Amino acid sequence: MKIRIIISALYALAAASCISQFTPEIVTQDRFLTVNGLITDENRRYEIKLTYSKPLDETSAEEPARGAIVTILDDTGNSWAFTEVKPGVYKSDSTQFRGTPGYTYTLRVQHKGSEYQSDPCLLRAAPPIDTVTHEILDREINASGVKKKVVRVAVSSHDPGSQTHYFRWTFEETWELHLPFNLLDYYTAVCWTSDKSHEILIANTEALKEDRITDFTLTEFDNSSDRGQYKYSMLVHQHSVSPEEYEFWDKVKKVSENTGGLYDVIPAAVPGNVKSTSDPSDLVLGYFSVSGVTSKRIFIRSPLLVPDLYHDKCVEEVVPRNAPIIGLGTEIWAINQIADEFGNLFWELTRNKACIDCAMFASNVKPDYWDEGFRQYK
């Protein structure tokens, strides 16, 4: 059932002394099945995530589509069933299925008496990444000309066979962090944390004479986080996508990045490549992606001078060294020892367990590629 929501907004008119009311009408609809999945030529388990979207006027979490039958079919008559590993998340058996360049794949979903099917998608081999590079820039942060150093990471690639044309990138970044307190040992003070790319990173070469992407920015970061303080690594994945998938991501990018102003793009559901075979009027959101992928990793050593990001969050009290403290070691901990101008020693105390062991918010397991990678890429 359609739900009508009236949102009132007041706009000040520069050329008039009155205030007029602008009342756009936004129509939201029932929940729609949302499909998110990616098939590549990598040797790994693939994941298809099925949820139901929520109307604009609701703040509840998306509802997982439980108990669906999820199948991948190719153009030679083979099929592979995916298994539900948690509510709404379906995974393949890596020993049975792997995407192959040149083959066409179709997703089929059966759920609650309805059937959904994607368009047939050709898996195009992805060319190798030429380089992943970084540079340190002085970026102006305000109108007075104040600058701040930022690290920019970029990718360059080309397809000598001129078969790709449409590129998409994702990445995983990992960095080493240190709790800056001298009463902690290495194993509680040093950890590694990771994040994935959140922006839509796409480019195409249709208007170019050569199928080449040069110095495309993947991300930038400054010293407001500890990414650049010690050691930073990024694993970049390059996908060779179809014109249809590129168009989908381009629309989603425009909707997600250009909303908020009076003349911006109106938020809307962007249909993907999955359709209902039971009811053609039933809108399906998301996209079933099929692409070849190549990867390349970069290692960066201490590119930024990062201020102490933990002291103000952790230190709650300062007392003379060895002062009697109730609950010391169980409810309150000494994390740092300092001296005053006369040489008197003091302890800085915290009640936050995350300030005595970084494993409370990051991983204390060093990535297996870490030491060797930084030895090779100095």
Which amino acid, residue 378?
Answer: K
**Torsion, CA 348, CA 349, CA 352, CA 355, rounded to 10:** 30
Q: How far is C-alpha 164 from the geometric centre of its chain's CA atoms?
A: 24
More confident residue, 110 or 11: 110
Cβ atoms of residues 227 and 293 within 8 Å: no
Closest CA to 287 of 263, 251, 254: 251
Tokens of 58: 């609701």
Q: Per this entry, what is the length of the chain? A: 378
Helix (H) or strand (E) holding 269: none
Domain ranges of the chain: 31-123+258-290, 124-241+291-304+364-378, 311-363
User: Residue 19 — pLDDT band, cuts 50, 70, 90?
Assistant: very low
* pLDDT value of position 378: 59
Residue pLDDT, tens place only, 254-288: 988 766 554 555 555 788 999 999 998 899 999 99
Residue 102 to residues 114, 128, 206, 208, Cα–Cα distance (Å): 30, 17, 21, 25
Question: Residue 164 in contact with residue 291, Cβ under 8 Å?
Answer: no
Q: What is the pLDDT of residues 94-116, one digit of tens each?
A: 999 999 999 999 999 999 999 99
How many Å is the Cα radius of gyration of the chain? 26
Per-residue pLDDT reduced to its tens digit, 212-267: 999 999 999 999 999 999 999 999 999 999 999 999 999 999 988 766 554 555 55
Residue 319 has a pLDDT of: 96
Pull the structure tokens for residue 69: 């039958």
What letter would DSSP give residue 366?
A: P
Minimal CA–CA distance to 213: which of 144, 136, 129, 296? 129
Confirm whether 31-123+258-290 and 124-241+291-304+364-378 share one CATH topology. yes
Q: Which fold has domain 124-241+291-304+364-378?
A: Immunoglobulin-like (2.60.40)
CATH of 31-123+258-290, picked from 2.60.40, 3.40.50, 1.10.3470, 2.40.30, is 2.60.40
pLDDT, residue 265, reads: 53
Share the mean pLDDT of the chain.
88
**How far, CA to CA in Å, does 147 sit from each of 153, 306, 307, 331?**
19, 15, 16, 42
Yes or no: say if 252 and 168 are a contact pair by the CB < 8 Å rule: no
377 alpha carbon, distance to own chain's centre = 25
